Amino acid sequence: MNKNKIIASSIIIAVAAILVLIIFLLGDGIIGFVAITFGAVVNNPPELDSIENQTLVLGNDFVYDANASDLDNHTLSFSTNYSIFPINNVTGVISFTANMSHYGIKHVRIIVSDEFNWSDSQIIVFNVTGAYCGDGTCAGNESCSNCPQDCGSCETSLPSGGTSAGGGGSMGSGFVDKGGTFKIDRKLIRVRVKQGETVIESVEIKNTGVVPIEIIIDVNKLKNLIVPDEYAFSLEMGESRVINFTIYAKKDIVPDVYSGIIKIKFEEIALPINTIIEVESSEALFDIDFFIPIGLKEIEQGGIIRADISISAISQIEPMESRLIYVIKDMDGNVIISQEGTILVGDSASSYVEMKLPGDIDIGDHVFYVKLIYKDNMFMRSDLFTVIGEESPLSLVEKPAPIWEESYFKIISFIAVFFVASILAYMAFTNFAVLYNIKAMIANVDKHIKDGELDEAKSAYLKVKDLYHKLSKRTKKKVYLKCMEFHRKLNMK
């Protein structure tokens, strides 16, 4: 083998190494590499123009033209995560008439996608307000014919000389029978009570209709904790009544956070009062602050909820590591998820917790609370948050970066790996060339010895010996025995 063959072999091995690296990088990385190297056109995601939050009134028509741009001029399609907020998938025009299904605050995600399903999106808050049938006020387009609950039944009369259907006399003055409605002055009761302690909370109930009504109070699952002054009573037109709710925690009750819904009912109308009762151990040891940061109290299904906690001792305690139990319940008192942790409590301590909500958690209000267990004592704090609808599958597609950005890391990795491989290949080829040369020189020494040319053999051996010291230990083993043989034959010292 001559020098040219060595160079050729080296080139073949180097090319093979490069091919292996290219195969390793096949996929998005190699596409990006080719795109940069040869100037290929890469895809860019569409961009949705900014859309402001919207406020509209029940019964009014709403039209809005959502616009988007695409650097690649691809065909774009629009969609939303709420079917009640329809959007034309081609033009991006949102058009509907606000009705009770839209009432209140809704978080609507507007999505624009290109032909490759790359997308951009924004969450828009729709605040739909206005009078509605059943709110106790006859307003807007409401009348006795379309909303007797608020406006009363339409007045009827008999033809002149007519009699009632029963044949028992005239109908009288034509009394208008209007529906009964009522309102309450609070929607949430949240109290903290120690074992063996009693707390009283009050709720004002007012008849806002024009007929007497019969009110029924249902405390549901909280009947072992809450007793109202009255469970049923009448209210005349315009009359109000303050009902006291006695909340009593028995001495042997298990400390925990109890949630439930008190319902104030009249016929088919039921107004809820979310109720949260934090029952603690009787001994006061800590002042605990547990809260969900403002702006993070509306969480999508499957989202992450965070709460901060700080603990301060209000009496002399022994510093020790204590258990923290974090729980999320619905308003019916059902545990959705829970997890445990620990914290070192002394004079003061602080921490935070993050929990992932289930994707199928019910939409609506929920309770997030912490239970601190110190020795045999338990202390609670809670906060309220609202679960809103989960985003549609399209909205979960993150806005992708252009291909060349995705491949940037792979391209740099390719260059780095190729550089290291080239150095290793050079070292291997250099050692191979030295080994080839020394074997050729050993063959030359053998030839001189066989021909009886000892002086020439000694001179050739000294060159072998000099080159031998430049070999790696592994390569030296391959020629060591032959060199020692020469040493003895030539009586070298």
Interatomic CA distance for residues 442 and 433, integer angstroms: 14
Confidence at 392, pLDDT banded by 50, 70, 90: very low
Tell me how many degrees the CA angle 252-255-261 measures, rounded to the nearest 5.
Answer: 105
With 50 as the cut, is the pLDDT of residue 1 above it? no
Task: Estimate the crossing angle of helix 408-450 against helix 454-468, to 10 degrees.
Answer: 160
Over residues 77-89, the mean pLDDT reads: 88
Query: Could you tell me which residue, 104 or 122, shows the higher pLDDT?
Result: 122
Sorted by sequence, the CB contacts under 8 Å of residue 258 that are 6+ apart come out as: 222, 225, 276, 277, 279, 333
Query: Is the CB of residue 472 less than 8 Å from the CB of residue 431?
Result: yes
pLDDT tens-digit map of 447-466: 888 888 888 888 887 887 78
Confidence at 176, pLDDT banded by 50, 70, 90: very low
pLDDT for 29: 45
Interatomic CA distance for residues 91 and 197, integer angstroms: 63
Q: Which two tokens stand for residue 418?
A: 């190729």
Over residues 71-90, the mean pLDDT reads: 90
Confidence at 393, pLDDT banded by 50, 70, 90: very low
* 229-233, 307-311, 404-408: least confident range: 404-408
Interatomic CA distance for residues 416 and 407, integer angstroms: 14
pLDDT tens-digit map of 54-64: 998 878 899 99
pTM of the model: 0.46
Over residues 144-149, the mean pLDDT reads: 65
Q: Which two tokens stand for residue 472?
A: 């790696």
Over residues 18-27, the mean pLDDT reads: 54
CA 247 to the chain's CA centroid: 37
With 80 as the cut, is the pLDDT of residue 52 above it? yes
Interatomic CA distance for residues 99 and 442, integer angstroms: 99
Interatomic CA distance for residues 6 and 415, integer angstroms: 25
Confidence at 405, pLDDT banded by 50, 70, 90: very low
* 91-100, 302-311, 468-477: least confident range: 468-477
Over residues 160-186, the mean pLDDT reads: 49
Tell me how many degrees the CA angle 154-160-164 measures, rounded to the nearest 5.
Answer: 65
With 70 as the cut, is the pLDDT of residue 174 above it? no
pLDDT tens-digit map of 353-363: 899 999 989 98
Pairing of strands 364-374, 320-330: antiparallel
Rg of the chain's alpha carbons, rounded to an integer?
42
Confidence at 148, pLDDT banded by 50, 70, 90: low
With 70 as the cut, is the pLDDT of residue 34 above it? no
Interatomic CA distance for residues 231 and 226, integer angstroms: 11
CA 229 to the chain's CA centroid: 44
What domains are defined for the chain?
A: 3-25+405-489 (no CATH), 47-131 (2.60.40.10), 179-282 (2.60.40.10), 284-401 (2.60.40.150)
Provide the b/e sequence for 16-36 (b: ≥16 CB within 10 Å). ebeeeeeeebeeebbbbbebe
- Count of C-beta atoms within a 10 Å radius of residue 422: 13
Mean pLDDT is highest, among 257-261, 296-300, 348-352, for 257-261
Sorted by sequence, the CB contacts under 8 Å of residue 116 that are 6+ apart come out as: 43, 74
Mean pLDDT across the chain, nearest whole number? 78
Confidence at 367, pLDDT banded by 50, 70, 90: very high
pLDDT for 156: 40
pLDDT for 166: 36
